[in-house]
Amino acid sequence: MGEESPTLDERTVRREPPRDGRKATAAGTIADKYEILSPLGSGGMGVVQLAWDRVLRRKVVLKRMHYELASTPGYRERFMNEARAVAGLKHPNIVVVHDLDFDEQGAFMVLEHVEGEDLASLLQRRGRLPWKEATALIRPLAEGLYHAHRQGVWHRDVKPGNVLLGTDGTVKLVDFGIARTRHQHTFGVSGMGTPAYMAPEQFQEGELVDHRADVFALGKLWHQLIAGGKLSPPGQPPRLEDLTTLAPAGLNAILARMTAADPGARYYSLGEVLLAIEVLLEDRDRTVPRIEVQPRPRSTYRRPILLAGLLALGLAFWVLDRRPPASFEERFAVDPGKPAIEQTVVEAEARVQPSPLGAESTSPASPPITSLQPEPRRKELQALLDAGKVARAAALLEEFARRGTLEDDLAALRRRVLEEVNYRKDHMPVVPAGCFSMGRQDGRYDEQPVHPVCLEGFRLDRTEVEVGAYRRCVQAGACAPPVAYSEFCNDRRPGGETHPVNCVSWRHAVEFCRWRFASLSSEAQWEFAARGRGTRLYPWGEDPPDCTRSHFSSERGPGCGASGTAAACSREPDRAAFCDLAGNLAEWVLDWYNDGYYAHSAERNPLNEEQSTERVVRGGSWYSRPEELAATARSARVPAEASDVIGFRCASPLED
């Protein structure tokens, strides 16, 4: 079908609003701009029309309520909310809202047009799809929904009729007519949807309904694409045995978790589903046959509309953009010792290029080697130190020594670099590259949503930086002394040499790590070190804190921290041999704090560099309550604050 401009009838003029709103489907011009080409569908709530935008010379889809409903405040507000919500969801797998306009009949949405058919038509034509073709359709839908969820929007009506397939291979999710945002608490029964795809909680009055209803619906749709035939009863998981001979066991395991009756047993995040899909495809041929899509006949196609909810008008239409590559390009390998439906994130090894956090803009570069002449190898030395690559810097300094070009100041630098190399081997355990689910489903609002994160490997100090180590930096002139404002500031306390340093600002911490050719860890690195690839609540596991594992408040909980810190690493190390990740001192990390950051955090090596008024603090302290020791708990302080409950530890990149 070409995009040539239709011949405009010169007698076509803007019409007065009809008294009977159902006449809105008739041919005409809307808002002096949109030439109606044909109706696409209508129902009890509204109409959808194919139109020609005479200004931008392109086909569009117009969606509006019936005239009677348009004058009803409740319906009108919901319609406007849908337009606003979808307009903010800029993603190649979600239909684009071009505009929200008004005429005598009220508001109407202008949406992009997709040349092709909907998934319901494809299913009717083919019955069922090979599992790889089905997965090729589900993956972009999961990506689009995941993006919507991260923006706080749930769809709540995922079904074949709301999936558009472009003739160019694009897959688009449409019709957010009964969508809700995280700020609009929705409960069962009141929500509505298409019963065959609704999650059990949507049928239960008073049950909280959130984005996990979309996870359920997408799983049921995936099953339908492969199995074909009749769907399981509304609110019930699909019959997984139907796929025994049609799909690999790993796919069945994913579907079992997506469609669990209990929302708490499902994948919390569609990002986890995307990770699982990558694992499913890893050892198989990733090539997927192109799905043949039939464009709608220009004059005869009329898609029937299934209304679900107050404003589900049923759109059938559009698209030009192609789906981008999958979000995760790395290789993901499942631990064979764990069942695929275990309630932990899929463990993975990420193949990523080094971009050391030690060189992030939030962490100043290492001190310049002022005596070096602008000779290329010496510039290389500075670059290595700036990037925290001390082993390679040590090798280069050794080369200078062999050549007899090691000046006095470089000899001193060489001693420091070698000292750091040895320190890292003995006191900075390696955290291998991997992926995990960051955040906590039942945690505070700023710990949500749970989202997948993949990190490069790194090293992290086994212990919080001790007073003795910090004093050496002060004596070297590279660090400012702690602000001894309290009796609990360890720098002035008798016997404080082996205690972690506190009463230091974020800048103090950055300067110390810089002196060591390192940086503070990112928030994601810190949580990964504390939790590993599982979902444990504390660094040691799920058991509540006690004084054998953590040094925390005896005034605000059953702890032992009434009089300040304990010596560094005086409690049992955690599973990865780190000490005091929960308790003793809370810890500065690199990131700026934003309570909604998790909704748009990057998936690879995230670091929040969007400036705010506070930096993130992690880990709980000697003054913390037990719940504040959770590995997911976040707090924040003004960077200039030097507190007797905050310290830090340093991180460094792995070297090639």
Predicted local distance difference test score (pLDDT) of residue 479: 92
Predicted local distance difference test score (pLDDT) of residue 139: 94
Q: Is residue 402 part of a domain?
A: no
- The verdict on 36 and 148 lying in the same domain is no
Predicted local distance difference test score (pLDDT) of residue 14: 29
- The verdict on 473 and 500 lying in the same domain is yes
CATH of the domain at 82: 3.30.200.20
CATH of the domain at 134: 1.10.510.10
CB 330 within 8 A of CB 456: no
Dihedral sign for Cα 34, 36, 41, 45, please. positive
CB 25 within 8 A of CB 42: yes
Torsion angle (degrees, nearest 10) of CA 237, 206, 211, 45: 90
From 53, 85, 112, the end of a domain falls on: 112
Q: Where are the alpha helices (DSSP H) in 93-186?
A: 119-126, 131-150
- The verdict on 589 and 460 lying in the same domain is yes
Predicted local distance difference test score (pLDDT) of residue 405: 66
Predicted local distance difference test score (pLDDT) of residue 599: 93
Q: Is residue 598 part of a domain?
A: yes
Predicted local distance difference test score (pLDDT) of residue 557: 62
Beta strands in 426-553 (DSSP E): 430-431, 434-438, 451-455, 458-460, 519-520
Helix/strand/coil (H, E, C) string of 52-117? EECCCCEEEEEEEECHHHHCCHHHHHHHHHHHHHHHCCCCCCECCEEEEEEECCEEEEEEECECEE
Q: Is residue 325 part of a domain?
A: no
CATH of the domain at 596: 3.90.1580.10
Predicted local distance difference test score (pLDDT) of residue 453: 94
Note the pLDDT tens digit of each residue in 582-615. 999 999 999 999 999 999 999 999 999 998 888 9
Q: How far apart are CA 144 and CA 138, in angstroms?
A: 10
Q: Is residue 413 part of a domain?
A: no
Structural domain count, the chain: 3
- The verdict on 583 and 459 lying in the same domain is yes
Residue found under tokens 């558009």: 164
Predicted local distance difference test score (pLDDT) of residue 406: 64
CB 255 within 8 A of CB 223: yes
H/E element, 154:
strand 153-154
**Residue 154 belongs to domain spanning:** 116-282
Q: Is residue 100 part of a domain?
A: yes
Q: Is residue 168 part of a domain?
A: yes
- The verdict on 492 and 442 lying in the same domain is yes
- The verdict on 166 and 63 lying in the same domain is no
Predicted local distance difference test score (pLDDT) of residue 329: 24
Predicted local distance difference test score (pLDDT) of residue 337: 31
From 222, 254, 282, the end of a domain falls on: 282
- The verdict on 449 and 525 lying in the same domain is yes
Q: Is residue 435 part of a domain?
A: yes
What is the residue type of 597? Y
Mean pLDDT by 10 residues, the chain (656 residues): 34 31 52 87 75 91 78 73 78 88 82 90 92 94 88 86 91 72 43 81 77 93 90 85 85 91 84 81 55 52 26 28 26 28 28 32 44 57 79 80 70 80 88 93 90 94 96 92 87 90 94 92 96 85 88 74 85 82 95 94 95 91 89 90 92 86
Torsion angle (degrees, nearest 10) of CA 543, 547, 553, 558: 70
Residue found under tokens 């804190």: 545
- The verdict on 500 and 445 lying in the same domain is yes
Q: How far apart are CA 589 and CA 373, in angstroms?
A: 35
Q: Is residue 498 part of a domain?
A: yes
Predicted local distance difference test score (pLDDT) of residue 135: 94
Predicted local distance difference test score (pLDDT) of residue 331: 22
Dihedral sign for Cα 526, 530, 532, 535, please. negative
- The verdict on 593 and 574 lying in the same domain is yes
Predicted local distance difference test score (pLDDT) of residue 23: 38
Q: Which residues are catalytic?
A: 157
Q: How far apart are CA 184 and CA 577, in angstroms?
A: 43
- The verdict on 99 and 134 lying in the same domain is no
- The verdict on 62 and 122 lying in the same domain is no
Nearest CA to 13 out of 38, 30, 1, 26 is that of: 30
- The verdict on 480 and 573 lying in the same domain is yes
From 223, 255, 282, the end of a domain falls on: 282
